[in-house]
Amino acid sequence: MSSGPRLLAAAIQYRPLWGKVDHNRTRLLFLVHSAAKLGAELIVLPEMCTSGYIFADRESVLSHCEPRSGPSVQLFQREAVRLGVTLCFGWPERDPETDLLYNSAAVCFPDGKTIFYRKRLLYEADETWSAPGDTPYPEWTSQQGLKCTLGICMDLNDDGFIQHLKEKECRVVAFPTNWIDQGFKVWNYWAWRLDGTGSCLVAANRYGTEETTRFSGDSAILDGRTLLGWTEATGDNVVAAYIPLEPTPFQPDEDQD
Q: Answer yes or no: is pLDDT of 188 > 60.
A: yes
Determine, yes or no, domain membership for 72: yes
- The pLDDT tens digits of the residues spanning 139-170 come to 999 999 999 999 999 999 999 999 999 999 99
Asked whether residue 255 is assigned to any structural domain, the reply reads no
Q: What is the CATH number of the domain that holds 196?
A: 3.60.110.10
1 pLDDT above the threshold of 50: no
Q: Is the pLDDT of residue 2 over 60?
A: no
Rounded to an integer, the average pLDDT of 173-184 is: 97
Alpha helices per DSSP H over 174-213: 187-194
pLDDT tops 90 at residue 251? no
At 5 the pLDDT is 86
- The count of C-alpha atoms lying within 13 angstroms of the C-alpha of 164, restricted to the half-sphere facing its C-beta, is 18
Helices 21-37 and 71-83, packing angle to 10 deg: 10
Residues 6+ apart with CB under 8 A from 252: none
- With pLDDT > 90 as the criterion, what percentage of the chain qualifies? 94
Q: Report the alpha-carbon distance of residue 218 to residue 141 in Å, rounded.
A: 27
In a domain, residue 256? The reply is no
Give the pLDDT band (50/70/90) at residue 255: low
Question: What's the average model confidence in pLDDT over 102-114?
Answer: 98
Reply yes or no on whether the pLDDT at 34 is more than 50: yes
**Average pLDDT value for the chain:** 95
Domain count, the chain: 1
Residue 248 has pLDDT above 90, yes or no: no
Please state whether beta strands 172-176 and 200-204 pair in parallel, antiparallel, or not at all (unpaired): parallel
Please give the C-alpha separations between residue 10 and each of 7, 124, 205, 212, in angstroms, as whole numbers: 10, 28, 12, 29
Give how far Cα 43 sits from Cα of 202, 213, 214, Å.
Answer: 9, 26, 24
**pLDDT for residue 90 is more than 60:** yes
164 within some domain: yes
67-86 residue pLDDT tens: 999 999 999 999 999 999 99
Domain region containing 106: 6-247
Q: What is the mean pLDDT of residues 130-143?
A: 97
The answer to whether position 252 is within a domain reads no
Average pLDDT over residues 186-215: 97
Rounded mean pLDDT of 235-255?
A: 85
